[in-house]
Chains A and B, each alone.
Chain A
Amino acid sequence: MPRVFRLSLVVGVLALVTAACSSAEPVEGIEPPTPITSTEMQQLLAASTEPIVVNIWASWCTPCRSEAPLLGRAADAFGDDVEFVGLDVRDTPAGAAAFIGEFFPEAPITHYADRSGQIPVDLGASRGVPLTLFYRPGGELSYLHFGVIDERTLALQIDELVSG
């Protein structure tokens, strides 16, 4: 009897975990990000009147997926003071649309696409993803973060943009 009870407990816990862990389903009707050139991106940054956070991601990038929920929460929390821009690199339109639908269906983030992956290099970063760049109004780079960004760093750098 105790063996049956233990087995039932394990099965029950597994079922609960599986049910609780279901990922968000891709949302219908999400458009792929708009293609943008390096010149257009730099013009966008230079013309900005408020701070901009640029997150560079790709749907095939596992670390990008792991940090995406945090960026969505940050955009929801600070979207009034800071503009959030997503730059999808070296990706397919379908993959990018599914990624946006899964992680940023309603987050105030404007997404662009760079099929060549050259824009991050032109911005002074690298070809690796994820990357997060923090710009002051007018396009001055405040901070460049390589790799997965954590909550403390993201919050601190946004505060630097807002209070600076």
Chain B
Amino acid sequence: MEFTLLAAAAIAGASAYTMLWWEARHGNAARCTGNLWEIGVVSAVVGIFIGRIVAMVIDGVNPLAHPMDVILVRSGISTVGASLGALAVFAWLSRREPTAMADGIAAAALAGLAGWHAGCLVRGTCLGTASDLPWAVAQAGSTVTRHPVGVYAAVALGAAAVTLAWWKAYRRAPAGAPASIAVIAAAATRLALEPFQPSISGGPVWFYAAALAVGIAGLVWSVLRR
């Protein structure tokens, strides 16, 4: 069962790596382009680990008493814990030139998220709430057609990643603006699609809204600072 998650992670990694490779050929803003891949992967893996531990704590499972439960990522990962953990690790690893590194990995991070959501096709988790729209699809054996919400997310984030990469390559972006735009795109996509996601207790809407506000503030700051 866990192999489908690995496949989705592989698609995410391949998407991010392809974007970094393309950006390196078109003048990536960061001087340490070669390190971005390693820093990004380490940040993502540690973020997932932290997100899993946070989810276990929230569920009342002691990670010290049940350490093997940490690898059961399908049981749930805290989006808030994973995101903040990955950002903290990234900030620490790129502390010498944080703005340039954040701008350098911005489009690749969006591409990686798009690849992760596209992995729903492998995992069989693309469907969301019921819908009568022409492109709504039903799962096997059902007559209820649904939003392919995983595909929506992949398309939206993929389009944002390509647009951002093109902008970075052919326009002079203010320092900090690409990273802020990536945060805005990721947060806005999750916020917009949350009503279409099947959920037991609802997603962390407050966190997506806060991330959107932080991204907008960062963009304003980078433009004014220019």
Residues on A facing B (Cβ under 8 Å): 17-18, 20-24, 62-63, 65-67, 69-70, 73-74, 77, 142-143, 146-156, 159-160, 163-164
How many A-B residue contacts, CB cutoff 8 Å?
A: 90
A150 to B4, CA, bound (A): 13
A21 touches B62 (CB 8 A): yes
Name the interface residues of B185-226: CB closer than 8 Å to any CB of A.
197-201
Q: Judging by beta carbons under 8 Å apart, are B198 and A23 in contact? A: no
Q: How distant is the Cα of A113 from the Cα of B47 in the complex, in angstroms?
A: 39
List the one stretch of B29-37, B53-61, B85-93, B168-176 in contact with chain A.
Answer: B53-61
Q: Secondary structure of the A side of the interface?
A: helix
Taking the nearest CB of chain B, how far is it from the CB of A27, in angstroms?
12
Q: Is the CB of A66 within 8 A of B200?
A: no
B139 within 8 A of A: yes
- Give the docked Cα–Cα distance between A156 and B144 (Å): 11
Report whether A148 and B200 are in contact in the complex, using a CB–CB cutoff of 8 Å: no
Q: In the complex, A23 Cα to B149 Cα: how many Å?
A: 35
- B133 located at the interface, meaning its Cβ lies under 8 Å from any Cβ of chain A in the complex: no
In the bound complex, residues from chain A placing their C-beta under 8 Å from that of B125 are: 150, 152-153, 156
Q: How far is the CB of B158 from chain A (nearest CB, A)?
A: 20
A69 nearest CB neighbor, chain B only: B59
Pair B75/A150 contact, Cβ less than 8 Å: yes
Asked if residues B57 and A160 are in contact (CB atoms below 8 Å), the reply is: no
Q: Report Cα–Cα, A91/B56, bound state, in Å.
A: 24
**CA separation between A73 and B63, bound complex, in Å?**
20
Q: How many residues of B contact A (CB 8 A)?
A: 35
Q: Does B94 contact A (CB under 8 A)?
A: no
Given A21-B62, A159-B129, A164-B143; A152-B72 close (CB under 8 Å): no
- Specify which chain A residues have a CB less than 8 angstroms from the CB of B142 in the assembled complex: 160, 164
B197→A152 contact, CB < 8 A? yes
Is B130 an interface position by the 8 A CB rule?
Answer: yes
**Shortest CB distance B53–A (Å):** 8
A65-B142 Cα distance, complex, nearest whole Å? 30
C-alpha gap A160/B197 in the complex (Å): 14
Cα distance, A42 to B63, chains bound together (Å)? 38
Assembled-state Cα–Cα distance A152/B200 (Å): 8
Our pick among B1, B76, B198 for the contact of A70 (Cβ within 8 Å) is B76
Taking the complex as formed, is B127 at the interface, i.e. its CB lies under 8 A from any CB of chain A?
Answer: yes
B198 touches A146 (CB 8 A): no
Once the chains are docked, how many angstroms separate the CA of A65 from the CA of B70? 12
Contacts A/B (CB < 8 Å), 12 sampled? A20-B57, A23-B66, A66-B69, A74-B200, A147-B2, A148-B72, A149-B74, A150-B74, A155-B200, A156-B139, A160-B139, A160-B142
